[in-house]
Structure 1
Amino acid sequence: MRTTSNPGDQRGPDAQHNRDQAWARLTQTPSGGRRLPSRSGGSPGRLMDIARDYDRVCQRAEGSLLPDATDAEVLAALLVIRMLREKLDHDELKLTSLARTKKITWARIAQWQELSGRQAAERRHLQLSRAYTRPDGTVPRTQSERVEQARERRSRRAEREWARQHAQRIRRIAAQLAAIDDLQKRVDRSQEARVILAVRGSETQDSPEPVPLVWPTALRDCLAEDERFRSAPPQPTDEGDPDGPDWHRQQQEADILHRLLGLVTYAANPRNIDLSDLPQLADAIRDLHRDSQQQAKTRRPPRPGASTA
């Protein structure tokens, strides 16, 4: 398309890169007067405000209408297209959300959007909604993400309950591991510690000092916390709580034991510590790790009355 410059416009075309000016330019009347733009707050106004002049610019681009468009008109139309695209995306998001509040299924929405199916419609809605964060700062999730999150919650509850059901075993092995005199030295000599030190050395010019890994200290701290909990369980603060004090104590105990299990299983990997001179303890830790992982794969909580050995 050939364009001609407007001799009365002393500014270059780049000076027109302003959304308000671009929108106003397409609301000009043929006589040069302006209709009042209907946009504010950085979002487009009504489509009817610019429809006629926008169509004229496009017809000139096709060569079906004279005179040719000016540079400023063409650039204004391009910027308006971007603004309208944003407006249409936002309108689509609002309309899709409205459809869902009216209990219209994703399958029907997909049909009217001419998408391949329910999942495509939901992905489209998620793609649009991620550009507009909710007031609480969260980002909407697809159904598959919600399902996966629900599975993770069930798995976490099952892991916590498994740890509580196997409390004696976890406590016994954790105490044996924490009782190793040179536990911290073993961990700091491990392959994992050497890799971490090498990575830190590659990031600096100087030779870094070794930094003790923290999980042995965390293990002993968690054991001490468990001992305090068992010797003096916290008293309920809300007597009207419908769950009752026993339930809350069980949840606190499950939380402590779940963390303790995670710390113990660090030692299941020879990369993290060498226990070759303590084969019985090493076998017990590996067995505990294997059993807990097997439970996690099934993602089912233990049956009532299961053994706590």
Structure 2
Amino acid sequence: MKTTRAQRPEAESHRERAWAHLLDNSTGIRRMATYGPYEHKRLGEIARRYDQICQRAQGLLHPGATESDVLAALLVIRALRDKLNSDELMLISLARSQQVTWARIATALEMKSRQSAERRHLQLSQAQLRADGTKPRTQSERVEVARERRSRRAERDWARSHARAIRAHAEELNAIGDLQRRADRSREAMLMQAPVQDDGTAPAPVSMTWPAALEQCLAEHIRLQAALKGESGTQRDEMEDWRSQQHETDILHRMLGLLRYAADPRHLDLSDRPGLRERIAGLDAEFRRHTRR
């Protein structure tokens, strides 16, 4: 008669109960009443009991291992593997903190090269959870993050080197009296306002946010430049200059991003201002060529 999941011993599916099962003595009287973290388990006793179960499973000892014995041993193997991996990472990190070379660590790990030891350390690090319960990024994820950072840095550098053109085009665009109305009547806005309800009624009119954001960005840049001009006669340290430079670069980068809406006819119709449209489109094309490198 097969047992249901509810009838099966917890040692077959619960790591803590599996560990306690292997700590039972031969008479079946449990010697361990409480369950603590794996790192505080009695490894010596578990090793002896585990060896006995393996020998019984092979028919070398009697009585033979029960189903619960075998399944509990499998669960304990997983727990031991996790603990050994954690301990290996801790010991490698400790060795490195004591200035032990990767070559010596590779020898202790029975690996052929220092690169193999470094890869092993990386693999173990990726498998360990952080304190907040998240896993570290994989190598491909770290490469992607680094690529994204380089791309963003290149964008910011480009925006700063083209500050005059960005500011001039933004001011000219912002000076259009009906800019907000044009944006709200763009193809993109019409698409966002298309009927989506079952009854065919259209949603509330959409007000595109980028024209107001562009105006705020320009005002922020004007305030920053006025503040810097007012401090031109005072002595500033290098850190203050760096912060101001980063602040201005951030504004210009955002301003460029907002300007690029005007480069796309879906977001803004500038057919009556072909010169401005071509200048903004040219700036956007040059930016895209630079950032694709």
TM-score tier (shorter): 0.7 to 0.9
| Cα separation, 2, equivalents of 1:207 and 1:71 | 65
1:26 alignment counterpart: 22
Please report how far the alpha carbon of residue 57 of structure 1 lies from its aligned counterpart in structure 2 after TM superposition.
1.9
Stretches of structure 1 that go unaligned for 5 or more consecutive residues are: 6-10, 299-309
Aligned residue among 63, 68, 88 for 1:67: 63
| Cα separation, 2, equivalents of 1:232 and 1:98 | 51
Please report how far the alpha carbon of residue 182 of structure 1 lies from its aligned counterpart in structure 2 after TM superposition.
2.6
2:262 alignment counterpart: 267
Aligned residue among 249, 255, 269 for 1:254: 249
The TM-score with structure 2 as length reference comes to 0.76
Residue 290 of structure 2 is aligned to residue 295 of structure 1 = yes
The TM-score with structure 1 as length reference comes to 0.72
Please report how far the alpha carbon of residue 82 of structure 1 lies from its aligned counterpart in structure 2 after TM superposition.
2.8
| Cα separation, 2, equivalents of 1:243 and 1:55 | 67
Q: Are the counterparts in 1 of residues 24 and 32 from structure 2 also a CA contact under 8 Å?
A: no
| Cα separation, 1, equivalents of 2:117 and 2:54 | 35
Amino acid at match of 1:276: S
- The CA RMSD over aligned residues, in Å, is 4.1
Paired positions, count: 285
Over the matched positions of the two proteins, sequence identity in percent amounts to: 45
Q: How does 1:1-309 map onto structure 2 within 5 Å?
A: 12-16=7-11, 17-36=13-32, 40-41=36-37, 43=39, 45-101=41-97, 102=99, 104-105=101-102, 109=106, 112=110, 117=116, 120-121=119-120, 124-129=123-128, 132-134=129-131, 140-141=136-137, 149-150=145-146, 152-197=148-193, 201=196, 207-233=202-228, 242-243=237-238, 245-298=240-293
Deviates more, 1:29-38 or 1:120-129: 29-38
Bigger fraction of residues in helix? 2
Residue by residue, what CA displacement relative to the aligned partner does 1:106-158 show, whole Å, maximum 9, x if unpaired?
Answer: 997598468995785365234313xx1146x8854566655665554454444
Please report how far the alpha carbon of residue 265 of structure 1 lies from its aligned counterpart in structure 2 after TM superposition.
1.3
- Higher RCO (C-alpha under 8 Å, 6+ residues apart): 1
3-state SS of 1:233 partner: helix
Please report how far the alpha carbon of residue 279 of structure 1 lies from its aligned counterpart in structure 2 after TM superposition.
1.4
